[in-house]
């Protein structure tokens, strides 16, 4: 059986490779977590299509981070608006993912991440700046692919903790 650290390393590398090969940070993360953990179905994956580049290439919240939080919601979120308790229950692990990501990457906004990694914020909605982003190494390992790896690994860590807590709870109630 694969140990937790090996699985987390595999998830990191898979998300990194997905971003390098296919682009679309949100779906790079979602695709990796869909393959390696439960909680991501086709609709969730499809919903991540236009979140890359800080939401439709606008430089806002990092699409990889949004995907990581989407997966938390898929695993533990509410299914009905009336279920306020489950809504509250999902906030703690989502906040953990957000804070861990921010600590590990240094920023949560796409433009801020670019500035930290490349010394400049790129407006990816402008073709010339998107090309400059690529030339600066945007899809090289140390660019957005590494950020995707961090987001996927972070979400996986939290999800594995949630699943462990559920097992402990269930076994203690038997």
What letter would DSSP give residue 124?
Answer: T
Model pLDDT, residue 166? 63
Model pLDDT, residue 2? 72
Does residue 109 sit in helix, strand or coil? strand
Instruction: State the Cα–Cα distance between residues 27 and 45, nearest whole angstrom.
Output: 6
Please state, for a pLDDT cut of 70, what percent of the chain lies above it: 94
Model pLDDT, residue 74? 93
Per-residue pLDDT tens digits for 83-112: 999 999 999 999 999 999 999 999 999 999
Instruction: State the Cα–Cα distance between residues 77 and 174, nearest whole angstrom.
Output: 25
What letter would DSSP give residue 122?
Answer: -
The owner of tokens 């595999």 is 10
Question: DSSP for 47-103?
Answer: HTTT-TTTTTTSSSB-HHHHHHHHHHHHHH--SSTT-HHHHHHHHHHHHHHHHHHHH
* pLDDT tens series, the chain, 174 aa: 579 999 999 999 999 999 999 999 999 999 999 999 877 899 999 999 999 999 999 999 999 999 999 999 999 999 999 999 999 999 999 999 999 999 999 999 999 999 999 999 999 999 999 999 999 999 999 999 999 999 999 999 999 999 887 665 556 666
């Amino acid at each position: 059986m694969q140990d937790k650290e090996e699985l987390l390393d595999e998830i990191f590398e898979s998300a990194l490779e997905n971003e390098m090969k296919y682009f679309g940070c949100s779906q790079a993360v979602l695709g990796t977590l869909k393959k390696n953990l439960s909680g991501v179905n086709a609709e969730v994956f499809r919903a991540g299509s236009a979140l890359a580049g800080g939401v439709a290439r606008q430089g806002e919240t990092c699409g990889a981070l949004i995907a990581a939080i989407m997966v938390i919601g898929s695993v533990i979120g509410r299914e009905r608006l009336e279920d306020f308790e489950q809504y509250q229950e999902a906030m703690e692990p989502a906040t953990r993912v957000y804070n861990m990501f921010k600590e590990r990457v240094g920023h949560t906004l796409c433009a801020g991440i670019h500035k930290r990694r490349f010394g400049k914020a790129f407006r990816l909605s402008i073709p010339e700046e998107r090309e400059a982003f690529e030339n600066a190494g945007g899809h090289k390992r140390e660019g957005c692919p590494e950020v995707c790896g961090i987001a996927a690994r972070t979400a996986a860590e939290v999800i594995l903790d949630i699943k462990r807590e559920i097992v402990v709870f269930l076994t203690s109630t038997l």
